[in-house]
Chain A
Amino acid sequence: MSGMIIETANNKWEVICGLEIHCQIISKSKMFSGASTEFGADANEHVSFVDAGMPGMLPTLNKMCVRQAVKTGMGLNAAINKYSEFSRKNYFYADLPQGYQITQFKYPIVGEGKVTIDLVDGSSKDIGIERMHIEQDAGKSIHDMAPDKSFIDLNRAGVGLMEIVTKPDFRAPEEAGEFLRKLRSIVRYLGTCDGNMDEGSMRCDVNVSVRKVGEDGYRTRCEMKNVNSVKFVVQAIENEAKRHVEVYESGGQIAQETRQFDPVSGQTKVMRKKEFAHDYRYFPEPDLPPLILDDAFIEEVKKEMVELPDAKKTRFVNELGLTKYDASVLCENKEIADFFEAASQGRDAKKVANWMMGDFFAMLNEKKIGIEESPVSAENLGKLVDLISQNVISGKIAKDVFVLMVESGENPEKIVEEKGLKQVTDSGAIEAIVEKVIAANPANVEAYRGGKTGLMGWFVGQVMKESQGKANPGVVNSLLKEKLG
Chain B
Amino acid sequence: MTDLTELTIAEAREGLKNKEFSAVELNKAYIAAMEKKREYNAYVSETPEVALEQAAAADSRYRQGQAGDLDGIPLGIKDLFCTENIRTTACSKILDNFIPPYESTVTAHLKASGATCLGKLNMDEFAMGGSNETSFFGPVKNPWSKDMALVAGGSSGGSAAAVAAGICAAATGTDTGGSIRQPSAYCGVTGIKPSYGRCSRYGIMAFASSLDQAGPIAKDVRDCAILLRTMAGYDPKDSTSVNAAVPDFEKFLGADIKGMKIGIPAEYRVDGLDKEVAAYWDKAAEMLKSRGAEVVEVSLPHTKYALAAYYIIAPAEASSNLARYDGLRYGERVNGRHLDDMYINSRSQGFGKEVKRRIMIGTYVLSAGYYDAYYLKAQKVRRLIQQDFQQAFAKCDVILSPTAPTAAFPIGDENMRKDPITMWLNDIYTVAVSLAGLPAMSLPIGLNSAGLPLGMQLIGRYLDEESVFKAAAALEKDAAFKRMK
Whether B426 sits at the interface, judged by CB under 8 Å, is no
Of A95-103, A185-193, A429-437, the stretch lying at the interface with chain B is: A95-103
A243 → chain B, closest Cβ, in Å? 28
Partner of A56, one of B104, B328, B339: B104
Q: What residues on B are CB-neighbors of A289 within 8 Å?
A: 239-240
Asked if A94 and B82 sit within 8 Å, CB to CB, the answer is no
Asked if A90 and B323 sit within 8 Å, CB to CB, the answer is yes
Which residues between 199 and 252 of chain B lie within 8 Å of chain A, taking CB atoms? 201-206, 208-210, 236-240
Q: What residues on B are CB-neighbors of A308 within 8 Å?
A: none
| Complex Cα spacing A143 to B343, Å | 18
Q: What residues on A are CB-neighbors of B95 within 8 Å?
A: 55
Asked if A283 and B366 sit within 8 Å, CB to CB, the answer is yes
Q: Mark B304-335, 1 if CB is under 8 A from A, else 0.
A: 00000000000011011011111011100000
| Complex Cα spacing A52 to B102, Å | 13
Q: What residues on A are CB-neighbors of B238 within 8 Å?
A: 58, 60
Q: What residues on A are CB-neighbors of B325 within 8 Å?
A: 55
Asked if B343 and A98 sit within 8 Å, CB to CB, the answer is no
Asked if A287 and B239 sit within 8 Å, CB to CB, the answer is yes
Of B32-40, B367-375, B400-408, the stretch lying at the interface with chain A is: B367-375
B169 → chain A, closest Cβ, in Å? 24
Which residue of chain B has its CB nearest to the CB of A92? B343
| Complex Cα spacing A57 to B206, Å | 8
Which residue of chain A has its CB nearest to the CB of B95? A55
Whether A357 sits at the interface, judged by CB under 8 Å, is no
Q: What residues on A are CB-neighbors of B101 within 8 Å?
A: 49
Whether B88 sits at the interface, judged by CB under 8 Å, is yes
A242 → chain B, closest Cβ, in Å? 33
- Are A279 and B367 CB-contacts (below 8 A) given A55-B324, A60-B239? yes
Asked if B239 and A281 sit within 8 Å, CB to CB, the answer is no
Which residue of chain B has its CB nearest to the CB of A32? B239
Asked if A54 and B375 sit within 8 Å, CB to CB, the answer is no
Asked if A58 and B324 sit within 8 Å, CB to CB, the answer is no
Q: Mark B425-444, 1 if CB is under 8 A from A, else 0.
A: 00000000000000000000
Which residue of chain A has its CB nearest to the CB of B364? A281
Q: Total A-B residue pairs with C-beta atoms closer than 8 Å? A: 102
Asked if B329 and A56 sit within 8 Å, CB to CB, the answer is no
| Complex Cα spacing A88 to B324, Å | 13
| Complex Cα spacing A60 to B201, Å | 12
Q: What residues on B are CB-neighbors of A288 within 8 Å?
A: 239-240
Asked if A283 and B239 sit within 8 Å, CB to CB, the answer is no
Which residue of chain B has its CB nearest to the CB of A34? B237
Asked if B209 and A56 sit within 8 Å, CB to CB, the answer is no
Q: What residues on A are CB-neighbors of B90 within 8 Å?
A: 55
Whether B265 sits at the interface, judged by CB under 8 Å, is no
- Are A100 and B202 CB-contacts (below 8 A) given A54-B100, A283-B316? no
Q: What residues on B are CB-neighbors of A57 within 8 Å?
A: 202-203
Which residue of chain B has its CB nearest to the CB of A55? B205
Asked if B326 and A281 sit within 8 Å, CB to CB, the answer is no
Which residues between 74 and 119 of chain B lie within 8 Å of chain A, taking CB atoms? 81-82, 88, 90, 95, 98, 100-102, 104
Asked if A55 and B98 sit within 8 Å, CB to CB, the answer is yes
Whether B134 sits at the interface, judged by CB under 8 Å, is no
Partner of A58, one of B237, B329, B366: B237
Q: Mark A348-391, 1 if CB is under 8 A from B, else 0.
A: 00000000000000000000000000000000000000000000
Q: What residues on A are CB-neighbors of B208 within 8 Å?
A: 286
Which residue of chain B has its CB nearest to the CB of A61? B239
Q: What residues on A are CB-neighbors of B81 within 8 Å?
A: 56
Asked if A279 and B82 sit within 8 Å, CB to CB, the answer is no
Whether A263 sits at the interface, judged by CB under 8 Å, is no
Which residues between 51 and 104 of chain A lie within 8 Å of chain B, taking CB atoms? 52-61, 88, 90, 92-94, 97-100
| Complex Cα spacing A286 to B240, Å | 8
Q: Mark B237-278, 1 if CB is under 8 A from A, else 0.
A: 111100000000000000000000000000000000000000
B126 → chain A, closest Cβ, in Å? 10
* Interface residues in A, total, Cβ within 8 A: 30
Q: What residues on B are CB-neighbors of A287 within 8 Å?
A: 206, 209, 239-240
Asked if B317 and A58 sit within 8 Å, CB to CB, the answer is no
| Complex Cα spacing A171 to B308, Å | 50
Q: Mark B353-372, 1 if CB is under 8 A from A, else 0.
A: 00000000001001110010
Asked if A281 and B366 sit within 8 Å, CB to CB, the answer is yes
B328 → chain A, closest Cβ, in Å? 6
Q: Mark A247-287, 1 if CB is under 8 A from B, else 0.
A: 00000000000000000000000000000000101110011
Asked if B326 and A99 sit within 8 Å, CB to CB, the answer is yes
| Complex Cα spacing A279 to B325, Å | 20
| Complex Cα spacing A52 to B98, Å | 14
Q: What residues on A are CB-neighbors of B237 within 8 Å?
A: 58, 60
B153 → chain A, closest Cβ, in Å? 23
| Complex Cα spacing A418 to B162, Å | 93
Q: What residues on B are CB-neighbors of A92 within 8 Å?
A: 323, 326, 340, 343
Asked if B100 and A56 sit within 8 Å, CB to CB, the answer is yes
Q: What residues on A are CB-neighbors of B206 within 8 Å?
A: 55-56, 58, 287
Partner of A52, one of B204, B322, B329, B340: B329
Interface centre among A49, A52, A100, A286 (most CB of B within 10 A): A286
Q: What residues on B are CB-neighbors of A53 within 8 Å?
A: 324, 329
| Complex Cα spacing A90 to B364, Å | 13
| Complex Cα spacing A145 to B204, Å | 36
Which residue of chain B has its CB nearest to the CB of A53? B324
B319 → chain A, closest Cβ, in Å? 8
Which residue of chain A has its CB nearest to the CB of B103? A56
Q: What residues on A are CB-neighbors of B236 within 8 Å?
A: 60
Which residue of chain B has its CB nearest to the CB of A90? B320
Asked if A279 and B329 sit within 8 Å, CB to CB, the answer is no
| Complex Cα spacing A312 to B130, Å | 66
Asked if A90 and B329 sit within 8 Å, CB to CB, the answer is no
Interface centre among A59, A279, A288 (most CB of B within 10 A): A279
Asked if A98 and B316 sit within 8 Å, CB to CB, the answer is no
Which residue of chain A has its CB nearest to the CB of B210? A286
Asked if B320 and A283 sit within 8 Å, CB to CB, the answer is yes
Q: What residues on B are CB-neighbors of A54 within 8 Å?
A: 100, 102, 324, 329-330
Binding site for A on B (CB under 8 A): 81-82, 88, 90, 95, 98, 100-102, 104, 201-206, 208-210, 236-240, 316-317, 319-320, 322-326, 328-330, 339-340, 343, 363, 366-368, 371, 375
| 17 other A-B residue contacts (CB within 8 Å) besides A55-B324, A90-B366, A281-B363 | A49-B101, A54-B100, A54-B324, A55-B206, A56-B102, A56-B201, A58-B202, A58-B238, A60-B236, A60-B238, A90-B319, A94-B339, A98-B324, A281-B320, A281-B367, A282-B371, A288-B240
Binding site for B on A (CB under 8 A): 49, 52-61, 88, 90, 92-94, 97-100, 150, 152, 279, 281-283, 286-289
Identify 18 residue pairs between A and B in the complex whose beta-carbon atoms are under 8 Å apart, listed by A's number: A52-B329, A53-B329, A55-B82, A55-B100, A56-B81, A56-B201, A56-B203, A56-B204, A58-B202, A61-B239, A99-B322, A100-B320, A281-B367, A283-B316, A283-B371, A286-B240, A286-B317, A289-B239
The 6 closest A-B pairs by CB, nearest first: A99-B323, A286-B209, A281-B366, A286-B210, A53-B324, A56-B203
